[in-house]
Amino acid sequence: MRKIVINKSYGGFSLSHTAFLRLRQLGQREALQEPDLGAYWPSGATPREPSLNMCGALIPRDDQKLVQVVEEMGSQANGHCAELKIVEIPNDVQWEIEKAGGVEHVSEVHRTWS
């Protein structure tokens, strides 16, 4: 089974600064490339500061290190207004994340014509 991280809140997907730092510690490529805004204001990088807790937008949702951090940290991995959840799907499914107001779900890719 493949694990995918989605957001179940209307705020949109984001990681906390703490989760972002853990991903960098693990060597996650996209997290290492993303600027660490909290490094310039570490005392302000608390969960109540939205600008420093909206990290990880470019990390693939099925990244094993992302899944690991969300499993390790639970709700502490949630970014500002996010409620992260891990869903499991079969390995052979072509998938995509669909959103409605920031709330996400995983669906199987299918053909569409207009």
**pLDDT, tens digit, for every residue of 70-114?**
999 999 999 988 999 999 999 999 999 999 888 999 999 987 677
Taking residues 67-72, report their average pLDDT. Answer: 98
pLDDT in tens, 6-42: 999 998 899 998 999 999 999 999 999 999 887 777 6
User: What confidence score (pLDDT) does residue 14 get?
Assistant: 92
DSSP 3-state assignment of 112? coil
Please tell me the distance from the alpha carbon of residue 105 to that of residue 69, in angstroms, as a whole number.
20
pLDDT at 80: 86
**pTM check: above 0.75:** yes
∠ CA 114-6-54, nearest 5°, is 110
